[in-house]
Amino acid sequence: MGMYKESIDFAREADREDTLSEFRGRFWFPELNGKEARYFTGNSLGLQPKAVEKYLQEEVEDWKKWGVEGHFHSRRPWFAYHEFFSESLSRIVGCKPSECVAMGSLTANLHLLLVSFYRPTKQRFKIICEQRPFPSDTYAFHSQARFHGFDPAEAVVELKPREGEYLLHTEDILRTIEEHKDELALVCLGGVNYFTGQLFDMQAITEAAHRAGAFAGFDLAHAAGNAELKLHDWDVDFACWCSYKYLNSGPGGVAGIYVHERFSRRTDIPRFEGWWGHEPETRFRMEGAFVPMEGAGAWQLSNAPVFTMACHRASLDVFDAAGMDRLRAKSLKLTGYLEFLLKKIIEEKGPQSLRIITPEDPAQRGCQLSLIFPAKGKEVFEAVTQAGIIADWREPNVMRIAPVPLYNRFEDVFVFAEVLKNQL
């Protein structure tokens, strides 16, 4: 594709050359001012895949046709419904199919995993996390610490950026782990920080946590379907994610977890148990003690939420066809083009116009760029909306823009940058 150019012709040519361009046609776009919107908020809620309606309709029909017998006779039998996701999810998060399962909702899953992986003692009770993870994670860590009888102010160690900075340095994270190693129970960060868009070095963080004798886990809400992940190879202990952002599976859609295979079938770790985590061969005998099924599935509590899972299946089909490697390759180009155009604006309008706080190194970010506006940011955001562009505003002065490779175009990025330039 050569060097980037600041022209609509360049953007359209890049779209013509895009081998993933057909996937855009598989999604519904909302309208703004009577026209199809340019949508940059896949980091908040992904667009609806067009196949969702068909998949949902099939489940509604099978319920009507079969009643309870649908557990075994429907097109996708409900008894084994969670099994239809693990292959696809394993490619998205980089693990073995047995190490991941579609289940539950994000924060509920995080709590279930903390039951197993936050096991504080008088000596080891600290959790290291970001200063500003998504608030739900903060609530989870604080309430878990209190539940175990610890003061969150002492138990939860927050990683703060250096003075005047927004991002965390990997060496600072590793040093903090080292400093607290004798009291450390768990290191748990977001894979990608929701506010800054920073993608953390999960492998280095996991290695440091393990050296310190602690568990390492990640909330991948902003990483799953966005960055290339290799959870198994990185030796991560556990992870959880939602499916409604980059995974396009609908508001509050079914979430997912990963647990490293070294914990499979172990009965000596604490776990809140439910019937769907019991081995399937004897699940319906309804007798005796809990026998964990193999892999991450043992952490399931309840039977599959079939209707939200139908939406999830429609989206994962698209990921299966596109492939994370190809999506990531396009993402690097597309976000790189957005960065190129924004830097042009900064050159022209001066550093007081806007600032990109997401890392410049593409290896330290997904597709999201977070922009700080020192002045009149809200007016700029309102003008962007008026121009038919759906972006995301975070008080007091940050706009988050996520050019998602599945359905965003180079032309969308160019038009957004032009609107921005005319407002600054």
> What pLDDT shows up at residue 296?
97
Residue 28 has pLDDT above 90, yes or no: yes
* Fold entry, domain 57-321: Aspartate Aminotransferase; domain 2 (3.40.640)
Burial class (CB in 10 A: 0-12, 13-18, 19+), 370: buried
Residue 123 has pLDDT above 70, yes or no: yes
- Per-residue pLDDT tens digits for 320-371: 999 999 999 999 999 999 999 999 999 999 999 999 999 999 999 999 999 9
How would residue 2 be classed by pLDDT, with cut points 50, 70 and 90? Answer: low
Would you tell me how many other CB atoms lie within 10 Å of the CB of residue 228?
Answer: 17
- Per-residue pLDDT tens digits for 187-203: 999 999 999 999 999 99
Residue 1 has pLDDT above 50, yes or no: no
Mean pLDDT of the chain: 96
CB 217 within 8 A of CB 186: yes
What is the value of pTM for the model shown?
A: 0.96
Percent with pLDDT over 90 in the chain: 91
How would residue 377 be classed by pLDDT, with cut points 50, 70 and 90? Answer: confident
- Per-residue pLDDT tens digits for 143-155: 999 999 999 999 9
- Per-residue pLDDT tens digits for 57-88: 999 999 999 999 999 999 999 999 999 999 99
Phi first, then psi: what are they for 5, rounded to 5°? -130, 145
The residue extents of the domains of the chain are 8-50+323-423, 57-321
Residue 26 has pLDDT above 80, yes or no: yes
Cross-strand partners of 200: none
The three-state DSSP-derived secondary structure of 116-167 is: HHCCCCCCCCEEEEECCCCHHHHHHHHHHHHHCCCCHHHHEEEECCCCCCCC
Mean pLDDT to the nearest integer, 11-33: 97
CB 49 within 8 A of CB 27: yes
> What pLDDT shows up at residue 280?
87
Would you tell me how many other CB atoms lie within 10 Å of the CB of residue 294?
Answer: 13
Comparing CA positions, the residue from 188, 131, 126, 115 lying closest to residue 156 is 126
Residues with Cβ within 8 Å of residue 386, at least 6 apart in sequence: 33
The arrangement of secondary structure in 8-50+323-423, i.e. its CATH architecture, is Alpha-Beta Complex (3.90)
The Cα 151–Cα 143 span in angstroms is: 10
- How many secondary structure helices (H) and strands (E) does the chain include? 13, 17
Exposure on the CB side of residue 99, measured as CA atoms within 13 A: 22
Residue 378 has pLDDT above 80, yes or no: yes
More confident position, 182 or 276? 182
Q: Helix (H, G, I), strand (E, B), or coil: what is residue 101?
A: strand
- Per-residue pLDDT tens digits for 230-255: 999 999 999 999 999 999 999 999 99
The Cα 25–Cα 368 span in angstroms is: 22
Comparing CA positions, the residue from 194, 214, 277, 230 lying closest to residue 95 is 230
Comparing CA positions, the residue from 401, 329, 370, 359 lying closest to residue 167 is 359
> What pLDDT shows up at residue 151?
98
CB 358 within 8 A of CB 198: yes
Pull the structure tokens for residue 86: 């693990």
Q: Which helix (H) or strand (E) holds 186?
A: strand 184-190
CB 171 within 8 A of CB 192: no
Same fold across 8-50+323-423 and 57-321 = no
Mean pLDDT to the nearest integer, 103-109: 97
